[in-house]
Structure 1
Amino acid sequence: MRRAFFAFAVVPFIFASQAFAGDAEVKAAQTVIDGQLRAFIANDGMTAYSFAAPNVKRVFPTVDTFMNMVTKGYPPVRQPQTYSFGKVRETSPTSIIQQVLIVGPDGKDYGAVYTLELQPDGSFRITGCSLRASTSLST
């Protein structure tokens, strides 16, 4: 039940090119995702949790509950072998959807779709992530 809140239903997204989202906003969103993935790899739950938006923190109010959810429900995100940014779409001046191509700990390809929202302090935070296995991902 908790996992369903964090992982939005996988729906096909039609991504626009980066030209539709401002380069600064895209870079800021990608920096947040990169920071969280690096924190997961380093087993730094506190830092990984710091990139979660308030809506996620309401459902997972502690670092332990958050990390447990990610570890059990998102192994490729929790321990990626490699990852790269794919297509991006700005859905509003304060919202970005970013595709991340991941090679999971099992060596298989996955596609993660992150949603991020601009916060009142001017930073982007991750509001959700959906994950799907893929037989062929192109970068």
Structure 2
Amino acid sequence: MRRAALLACLLMSLPAFAGEAEIKAAQDSIAGQLHAFRADDNATAYSYAAPNVRRIFPTVDTFMSMVAGAYKPVHKPQSFSFGKFQEMNPTSIIQQVIIVGADGKDYEAVYTLELQPDGIWRITGVSLRASNSLST
């Protein structure tokens, strides 16, 4: 009896893993923003930003200026694909995205997203680093 109770407590303390629908929804938010960037649809790209990002960049113009200046590969990617996914908690995830920039170089973008009260995954941050390889 004690062993079963201990096992039940341990299982309840493990983090819940995101299901395929949650992973796809988070990836859809990232893809939606990347497609909007490519299409120069700045308002749609900005709509994927989480409230914390909107506080720092309160207008579409300030947001796009930051993206175009500091995140060129994300702003105009040739292509992208999803890599590793990690759930931090039920409302916060990390998603790796491999990006081929306009310069033909590979980049790794690590996105953080939070599930908002409206049920949409919004982007809270992006960390970008260049790879040493060239895509062919």
TM-score class, shorter-chain normalisation, is: 0.7 to 0.9
1:29 counterpart (26, 29, 35): 26
Q: What does residue 50 of structure 1 align with?
A: 47
Q: What does residue 118 of structure 1 align with?
A: 115
Separation in 1, partners of 2:92, 2:21: 13
Runs of 4+ in 1 over 6 A off after TM superposition: none
Name the structure, 1 or 2, with higher relative contact order (CA <8 Å, separation 6+). Answer: 1
Separation in 1, partners of 2:22, 2:125: 17
Q: What does residue 7 of structure 1 align with?
A: none
Is the counterpart of residue 131 in structure 1 residue 123 in structure 2? no
The C-alpha deviation readout for 1:49-107, integer Å capped at 9, x for no partner, is 00000000000000000000000000000000010000100000001100000000110
Is the counterpart of residue 88 in structure 1 residue 58 in structure 2? no
RMSD: 1.4
Contact 2:105 2:133 in 1 (8 A): no
Identical-pair percentage: 72
- Paired positions, count: 119
Query: Offset of 1:21 from its aligned partner?
Result: 2.4
Gaps of 5+ in 1: 1-19
- TM-score calculated relative to the size of structure 2: 0.85
Is the counterpart of residue 99 in structure 1 residue 82 in structure 2? no
- TM-score calculated relative to the size of structure 1: 0.83
Query: Offset of 1:135 from its aligned partner?
Result: 1.7
